[in-house]
Amino acid sequence: MRRFSQRSHLVTLSEINITPLLDLAFVLLIIFIITTPLLTQSIELSLPKGGSPDRKTIKSDIRTVEISTSGIYKYESKQMNLSTIVADLTRDKQSNPNLVVFIRADKDCRYDLVAQLLDGCQRNRISRYSLRTDPTPK
């Protein structure tokens, strides 16, 4: 019968097989790559037709507010009430004078929901905003 020395026993215990760890890391990476775009969904809106394609704007200057037909406001994909949105936009305007507010309102939403947002922007001297539409095809 073959005897194993104490030294060889310790050597085999100190070796860690990292192949299963790498497999797990790659699986988690793939899961995160697939699920990340799903987490950044916005409200399902049907924008009115018209307008023209955008001119170039720096992405860091844009803030997006969405308004659904049921009166739900979303600011940068987070549901908030109107006063919080206006306060956040005012704070962003103070730190970035080139701020542009994109307003995405459903074509069937009440006009007063859009008007309240515009009024809040104007009261806080936010003068650059864009009412978003689906551009008409050429």
Residue 44, in any domain of the structure: no
pLDDT of residue 33: 85
- Average pLDDT of the chain to the nearest whole number: 80
Residue of 50, 66, 49 whose CA lies nearest to 109:
66
Q: 21 falls in which pLDDT band (50, 70, 90)?
A: confident
Residue 108, in any domain of the structure: yes
Residue 29 and residue 138: Cα distance in Å, rounded?
41
pLDDT of residue 84: 93
Does the pLDDT of residue 9 top 70, yes or no? no
pLDDT digits (tens, 9 = 90+) for 82-126: 999 999 999 999 998 888 999 998 888 888 999 999 999 899 888
DSSP string, 95-127: H-TT-EEEEEE-TTS-HHHHHHHHHHHHHTT--
Residue 99, in any domain of the structure: yes
Residue 54, in any domain of the structure: no
Residue 34 and residue 64 share a domain: no
Residue of 67, 65, 56 whose CA lies nearest to 98:
56
Number of domains in the chain: 2
- Show the tokens assigned to 79: 């549901």
CA atoms within 13 A on the CB side of 55: 2
Residue-number span of the structural domain to which 124 is assigned: 59-131
Does the pLDDT of residue 53 top 70, yes or no? no
Does the pLDDT of residue 127 top 90, yes or no? no
